[in-house]
Structure 1
Amino acid sequence: MFHASRLLTMSEKTAVDVSKIHPEGDCDIPSEFSSQKNISLTAELFKALATPSRLKILLTLSHGPASVSNIVIATELSQPLVSQHLKVLRGIHLVSVQRDGREAIYSLMDDHVAHIILDAMAHVNELEHAN
């Protein structure tokens, strides 16, 4: 699981140096993205996404904010399971929660989260249709 304390303890050294194989420097990826810290945190994010139930929840939220009960209806997962996965997704900063009276309303943290899910699904869809 993602832990903010890792931000302070991980090495800042560059883990990937593409200039060694592409010396012309035409890389569109900012150098700070290649740090060991960013690579490790991104791996943690993908590890958290490696669950079909969490992907269902994120796909549901890509359509807009929803209460736990509406996420349960849309995903056909049990309420305790949805709550458990939402806790993990909040912990890695993929979803946020706001209270509306007694209800918790969840939404994606930002548009990047929807892009991650939808781009991955588009890639899989292309692979399915290519074969």
Structure 2
Amino acid sequence: MSVPHAVPDPGSTLPHPATDLPPKEVLTGAGDLLRALAAPVRIAIVLQLRESARCVHELVGALGVTQPLISQHLRVLKAAGVVNGERSGREVLYRLVDDHLAHIVVDAVEHATEGSAHATEGAAQATEGAAGTDGAGR
């Protein structure tokens, strides 16, 4: 059985999967970025920052988590180059380094939402199917 290959986007800078891969350093950097984004609180922070720059207390209020936890996650995101901070008086305003990062997170959330909807539909269909039986699968 033949597996269809995706047609490469002519505008993409990525190599064709069957030919050259990016250098190991690029793959490592991509892995580091994805690991930095791989926590629900950090995903929520990125979603908040795509709207506008925010200080820590605004993120605490929006996300309903403690200030130390927000600060810890911001340190991870800053170390990974996802956010940067700019002092404004006594506060630091955090913003996304670029819009590409927001797109990665939004796409992941949309994908998870679609997967959740499909799982819910499947569970509903299974429940409906079971409701039509006599309890013994007949």
TM-score, length basis structure 2:
0.70
5 Å-filtered alignment, 1:1-131, equals 26=8, 28-31=12-15, 34-131=22-119
- CA displacement, residues 6-41 of structure 1 (integer Å, 9 cap, x when unaligned): xxxxxxxxxxxxxxxx8xx95644349722111111
Please state whether the residue corresponding to 1:30 is helix, strand or coil.
coil
- CA displacement, residues 83-105 of structure 1 (integer Å, 9 cap, x when unaligned): 11111111111001111111100
Q: Structure 2 CA distance, aligned partners of 1:54 and 1:46?
A: 11
Structure 1: any 5+ residue segments left out of the alignment? Answer: 1-21
- Computed over aligned residues only, the root mean square deviation of the Cα atoms, in angstroms, reads 2.1
Larger Rg: 2
Q: How much has 1:130 moved relative to structure 2?
A: 2.7
- CA displacement, residues 26-68 of structure 1 (integer Å, 9 cap, x when unaligned): 5644349722111111111111111111111111111211111
Structure 2: any 5+ residue segments left out of the alignment? Answer: 120-138
Please state whether the residue corresponding to 1:34 is helix, strand or coil.
coil
TM-score, length basis structure 1:
0.74
Q: How much has 1:129 moved relative to structure 2?
A: 2.2
Q: Structure 2 CA distance, aligned partners of 1:115 and 1:58?
A: 10
Greater RCO, 1 or 2 (C-alpha within 8 Å, sep 6+):
1
> In structure 2, do the counterparts of structure 1 residues 129 and 96 end up closer, same or farther at CA, with 3 Å as the change threshold?
same
